[in-house]
Chains A and B, each alone.
Chain A
Amino acid sequence: MSVKTMLKFVSGLMAWGMSSAALAAWEVNMPVGVTEISREVHGLHMLIFWVCVAIGVVVFGAMFYSVFAHRKSRHPKPADFHESTLVEIIWTIIPFGILIAMAIPAAGTLIRMEDTRGTDMTVKITGYQWKWQYEYMDHDISYFSTLDAKSNEARRLGSGIDPATVDNYLLEVDNRLVLPVGKKVRFLLTSNDVIHAWWVPDLAVKKDAVPGYINEMWTQIDEPGIYRGQCAELCGRDHGFMPVVVEAVSQEDFDAWVAGKTGGAQEAAAEEAVAEEPAEASVEAAAEPEEAPAAEQVAAAEAPAAEPAAAEMSKDELMASGEKVYQTYCSACHQAGGEGLPPAFPALKGSAIATGDQAAHIDIVLNGKNAMTPFGGTLNDEQLAAVITYERNAWGNDTGDVVQPAQIKAAR
């Protein structure tokens, strides 16, 4: 590239950047956050920052004064000192003193941060490529939290969707982690595949989710609100696309949410058994409890929701909804065209399983295998039937097979 075309490129880029600039905020500092720990951490951060500023003023002040006053034109004859034990001892001891003064409060905060005793409830967080699973150990609740559909669509290369039109672009999920305020919540953190890190700046909580390890951390949120963060440890292709969203609610709202979640699930199961209700009603019943505390959570409406089970579906229906499910849940690894990313993620196009035995195909999707995530807990029977039908007929896998929700139900 010649210098001229590069300059053109740069100025083009600049114009492009300016146009989007108006939308963005100029946040320059660490958030104070909404927990006692986060406020302490912010305090430490500001303290060490001002200590650095003070040292900087003295050191750079001396340096720039010297650059100005001791240049040859002003100071033609150099002095000839080149050591002074006293001065050197002084400027070894003073920094030492400053460091000790810093270390004491830092150690105090660190010890408080790591003190996971006396917690009121526990949530187990499991990292997956590329989503989080939240399991409430004291309640029978467990679900996955994935990048919301709108962001997910907009973030594709050449999607043509302006991220500025997506609310909370890349910082929204389908199912948020709902926590009560004022309770000391313990997190148990692990991973199912590679190392991830769970980070919410407003809570000053960041810790690695390591496969085979369980890490502990805790938080106690003071104010209701929605707090957003992201996976902080490089975890592969979609590392930038697995946000963490915490919704802190009052204890009553939390209890209602829990009741909805656990009760709602039983209701849904009952409905499934009867399979009589009209589709709409059942969709609402299953979706509402999840939504209740997350009133403005638009994404949930688009997230997959339970539909009446066991109904026969046409191949076209299955293929259409299968494609959607595939693009949302599978394409990250197996790629949009089914070609995979070998050797880590096998191709489904022409694969032995996707064109061979149906039972094996259903089994691997339901129960997972090695790095392949189990989807039995994430997707319902229709979705699974649809995506498997889709995989068996798309990209030239023309098996002609139709897998019905009932088959999935039977295989569970």
Chain B
Amino acid sequence: MSHADTHDAHDDHHHGPVTLKDGFVPWALRWIGTTNHKDLGTLYLIFAFTMFFIGGVMSLIIRAELFQPGMQLVSPEFFNSMTTMHALVMIFGGVMPGFVGLANWMVPLMIGAGDLALPRVNNWGFWILPFAFTLLLSTLFMDGGGPASGWTMYPPLVLQTGDALPFVIFAIHLMGISSITGAINVIVTILNLRAPSMTLLKMPLFVWTWLITAYLLIAVMPVLAGAVTMLLTDRYFGTSFFTAAGGGDPVMFQHIFWFFGHPEVYILILPAFGIVSTIIPTFARKALFGYDSMVYATASIAFLSFIVWAHHMFTVGMPVAGELFFMFATMLIAVPTGVKVFNWIATMWRGSMTFETPMLFAVGFVFLFTIGGFSGLMLAIAPADFQYHDSYFVVAHFHYVLVPGAVFSIIAGVYYWIPKWTGVMYSEFWGKVHFWLSAIFINVTFFPQHFVGLAGMPRRIPDYNGQFADFNWISTVGAFAFFLAQFIFIFNMMRCMARKGEKATDRVWEGAHGLEWTVPSPAPYHTFEVPPEQISIPEDELTAVHDEFDALDGHKLT
């Protein structure tokens, strides 16, 4: 097979990136100045997992306070700023950069491009983030404490925030800029740099879902920016966009926010669909069932996500006609989402499956995400939503779609691709232990929250009546155990990054077909400087093609 050409025409004498051996300053400068998609992918992922850790600690503070009735550990204001920060950090610092990291690494490798189309923008997009989050987190130490009005930032409450408010708004602007640059880069890369024979409908599904996600980002991040800017002017420049006393309308903020917020929900899950659609066929050794309908389903979910926003605000007092419309539109989303789940199962059906760690997480995703989808369907029923809204039932619902949904998919993706990134296999044993602990404790944490929510426990409260006590302590125990289990993952991945462990083959997985598996493991610093002719590994070629590479640093496998 003629191979994907990674032959470098470049004249750098030692062919690889600067390493610590070349000295600390050059090494640090390399990471700060890098425009390489692999470096930036790595940085994004490290950043995302750091944020998962910080946001996770916040969630433990929340769960520890909720362990028992009565206020034991923190004040109510601090509790509120923990729930607010936890959400902002996890969404904007964890899940989104996690997906951008995977896109950075994998989109060029999957479409046969040498790098992203706008490498400097890529660098800038990443390096904004550490500043944005330092700023955000620093508000916890300001006069009046951190933001405490929930990540939804509803006025008028948000206008009672102390000195933190302008800094939070500025941090959100920075995050928005970072997301938009990332999204533009992904779109331009996918539309322009694909291998010549890769037509749109031959792209891997991860690429498709990211393409659609990127459009969603460009469409809605400016809306969020506008909304928070109006908060800023309301607070400091005498406008009354959202103040009834000045002729404004606090409910308008909610409409604007959720016009951003609902597509945002899909920004957090569409790339996950792509990852799972990549992993399941590999381990089922069978092509993805219904590729075309997967693409159309993704596109229709993205479209529908723009016309359902008000289901987040059924209790705000809308006209009945509005409530009916948003109820029906929301229920409609179940159709394309169902198609996806059915397609994954049909892909598994009569395949020849093995359950390495990435597959375990992918199957866990399908199962648990679907449970989150069921509760989502229940929430769509407006009259019932009057009971569910702002209760722990909602907390359970969105954590099911975000943790065993989005987060599991990121973890699955990292397990799946890290042999390609580092050239060594992770420990399969510890990977499996990690999966089972995660899968068990995520349910211990979040399943009981359905019960307390239905029984009447509102969300975002620091203390509760004894009738909710049992399920709450169970949930707290689950949260601590889940958090601890993640260290297995961290150590497993650090081991790979230290290049300790069994050497990975180029193809890594027996059933892998994508272009990314045609380059050596670890992937050389520069790949596909010449676009590849073939766009996947054919069925009959079970050994990869590394022989034809001189791996760039003289490293050669087998």
Mark A residues whose CB is within 8 Å of B. Answer: 3, 6-7, 9-10, 13-14, 16-18, 20-21, 23-31, 37, 40-41, 44-45, 48-49, 52, 55-56, 59-60, 62-63, 66-67, 70-72, 75-84, 87-88, 91-92, 95-96, 99, 102-103, 106-107, 109-111, 113-114, 154-159, 161-164, 168-171, 189, 193-195, 197, 199, 201, 204-208, 210-213, 215-216, 228-241, 341-344, 371
Smallest CB–CB gap between A190 and chain B, Å? 10
Residues in chain A near residue B382, CB distance under 8 A: 106, 110
The complex places the Cα of A162 from the Cα of B70 at a distance, in Å, of: 7
Min CB–CB distance B158 → chain A (angstroms) = 9
Asked whether, in the complex, the Cβ of A159 is within 8 Å of the Cβ of B292, the reply is no
With known contacts A206-B315, A342-B144, A107–B327 Cβ distance under 8 A: yes
Question: Bound complex: CA of A3 vs CA of B490, how far in Å?
Answer: 14
* Residue in B71, B150, B384, B454 whose Cβ sees the most chain A Cβ within 10 Å: B384
Whether B160 pairs with A344 at a CB distance below 8 angstroms is yes
Contact A29 B383 (CB under 8 A): no
A163 lies within 8 A of B466 (CB): yes
Q: Please list the residues of chain B having a beta carbon within 8 angstroms of any beta carbon in chain A.
A: 64, 67-77, 80, 143-144, 148-150, 154, 156-157, 160-163, 243-245, 249-251, 284-293, 315-317, 320, 323-324, 327-328, 331-332, 334-335, 338-339, 341-343, 345-355, 363, 366-367, 370-371, 374, 377-378, 381-384, 386-387, 389-391, 451, 454-456, 458-471, 473-474, 476-477, 480-481, 484, 487
Residues of A within 8 A of B328 (CB): 103
Which of A26, A208, A241 is most buried by chain B, counting CB atoms within 10 A of its CB?
A208
Q: Would A211 and B473 count as touching, CB distance under 8 A?
A: no
Q: For the complex, what is the distance from the CA of A48 to the CA of B387, rounded to whole Å? A: 14
Which of B64, B341, B463, B471 has most chain A Cβ within 10 Å?
B463
Task: Name the B residues within 8 Å of A234 (CB-CB).
Answer: 80, 149-150, 154, 157, 390, 459-460
Interface hub of B74, B350, B367 (most chain A Cβ within 10 A): B350
Q: Which residues of B contact A204 (CB under 8 A)?
A: 383, 386-387
- Sorted from nearest, which 5 A-B pairs have the closest CB atoms? A212-B244, A240-B461, A17-B473, A215-B317, A24-B469
The answer to whether A159 and B315 have CB atoms under 8 Å apart is: no
Question: How far is it, in angstroms, between the C-alpha of A13 and the C-alpha of B343 when the chains are bound?
Answer: 43
**Is A21 a contact partner of B473 (Cβ separation < 8 A)?**
yes
Chain A residue with Cβ nearest B390:
A232
CB closest chain-A residue, reference B481: A10
Whole-angstrom CA separation of A26 from B261 in the bound complex: 34
- A23 to B465 CA separation, bound complex (whole angstroms): 11
Q: Are B68 and A16 in contact (CB under 8 A)?
A: yes
A158 to B316, CA, bound (A): 36
Known contacts A17-B68, A41-B383, A170-B464, then 20 further A-B pairs from the complex at CB < 8 Å, ordered by chain A residue? A7-B484, A24-B469, A30-B387, A30-B455, A44-B384, A56-B374, A59-B370, A91-B342, A110-B320, A155-B70, A206-B315, A206-B387, A207-B386, A208-B317, A232-B389, A234-B149, A235-B157, A342-B144, A343-B163, A344-B144
Does B465 lie within 8 Å of A168, measured CB to CB? yes
Q: Which residues of A contact B458 (CB under 8 A)?
A: 199, 230-232, 240
Closest to B348 in A: A66
Does B324 lie within 8 Å of A80, measured CB to CB? Answer: no
Give the docked Cα–Cα distance between A170 and B469 (Å).
Answer: 13
Please classify the interface of chain B as helix (H, G, I), strand (E, B), loop, or mixed, using the class held by over half of its residues: helix
**Smallest CB-CB separation from B70: which chain A residue?**
A163
B69 close to A78 (CB less than 8 A): no
B466–A23 CB distance below 8 A:
yes
A211 (CB) vs chain B CBs: closest residue:
B244
Knowing A52-B374, A63-B367, the reply to whether A239 touches B346 (Cβ < 8 A) is no
27 interchain pairs, CB-CB under 8 A: A13-B477, A20-B68, A20-B473, A26-B470, A48-B381, A70-B353, A71-B352, A71-B353, A76-B352, A78-B284, A82-B290, A84-B290, A102-B381, A110-B320, A155-B71, A159-B71, A163-B69, A197-B389, A201-B455, A204-B386, A206-B389, A228-B456, A236-B149, A343-B143, A343-B163, A344-B144, A344-B160
Other-chain residue from B315, B335, B462, B469 in contact with A92 (beta carbon distance below 8 A): B335
Beta-carbon contact of A343 and B466 below 8 Å: no
- Our pick among B317, B349, B352, B487 for the contact of A72 (Cβ within 8 Å) is B352
**Which residue in B75, B144, B156, B465 is a CB contact (below 8 Å) of A193?**
B156
> Given B149, B339, B384, which contacts A106 in the complex, CB threshold below 8 Å?
B384
Collect the chain B residues with CB atoms within 8 Å of residue A16's CB. 67-68
Contact A48 B80 (CB under 8 A): no
Residues of A within 8 A of B477 (CB): 10, 13-14, 17
Establish whether residues A83 and B290, one from each chain, have CB atoms under 8 Å apart when the complex forms: yes
Tell me which of A17, A18, A233 contacts B390 (CB under 8 A).
Answer: A233
Q: Which of B351, B367, B465 contacts A171 (CB 8 A)?
A: B465
- Closest Cβ of chain A: how far from B292's Cβ, in Å? 7
Question: Which one, B160, B343, B351, B470, contacts A371 given CB within 8 A?
Answer: B160
A56's contact among B339, B370, B487, by CB below 8 Å, is which? Answer: B370
Is A87 in contact with B346, judged by CB distance below 8 angstroms?
Answer: yes
A318 nearest CB across to chain B (Å): 29
Complex contact B339–A201 (CB within 8 A): no
* Residue among B327, B363, B467, B474 with max Cβ neighbours from chain A (10 Å): B467
In the bound complex, CA of A256 to CA of B357 (Å): 69
Q: How far is the CA of A65 from the CA of B462 in the complex (A)?
A: 43
Query: A113 to B292, alpha carbons, bound, how many Å?
Result: 42
Distance between B348 CB and nearest chain A CB, rounded to angstroms: 5
Asked if A75 and B345 sit within 8 Å, CB to CB, the answer is no
Q: Give the docked Cα–Cα distance between A408 and B451 (Å).
A: 50
Task: Give the shortest distance, in Å, between A195 (CB) and chain B (any CB).
Answer: 6
B71 engages A95 (CB within 8 Å): no
**B338→A20 contact, CB < 8 A:** no
Q: Which residue of A79, A88, A109 is within 8 Å of B350 (Cβ)?
A: A79
> Are B469 and A28 within 8 A (Cβ)?
no
Q: How far is the CA of A62 from the CA of B462 in the complex (A)?
A: 41
B69 CB contacts on chain A under 8 angstroms? 20, 163-164, 169-170
Distance, CA A25 to CA B69, complexed state (A): 13
CB atoms of A96 and B464 under 8 A apart: no
Report yes or no: B481 in contact with A59, Cβ–Cβ below 8 A. no
Contacts of B332 in A (CB 8 A): 99
Q: Does A13 lie within 8 Å of B64, measured CB to CB? A: yes
Given contacts A72-B353, A106-B382, contact A341 B77 (CB under 8 A): yes
Q: Is the CB of A28 within 8 A of B451?
A: yes
Q: Is the CB of A106 within 8 A of B484?
A: no
- Docked Cα-Cα span, A3 to B335, in Å, equals 45
Please state if B335 and A201 are interface contacts (CB–CB under 8 Å): no
Contacts of B334 in A (CB 8 A): 95, 99
Q: A71-B355, A170-B464, A207-B315 are in contact. Are A156 and B251 (CB under 8 A)?
A: no
Q: Which residue of A lies closest to B324 (CB)?
A: A107
For A13, list chain B residues within 8 Å (CB): 64, 67, 473, 476-477, 480
Contacts of A215 in B (CB 8 A): 316-317
Please give, as numbers and ranges, the residues of chain A lying within 8 Å of B386 by CB-CB distance: 41, 113, 204-207
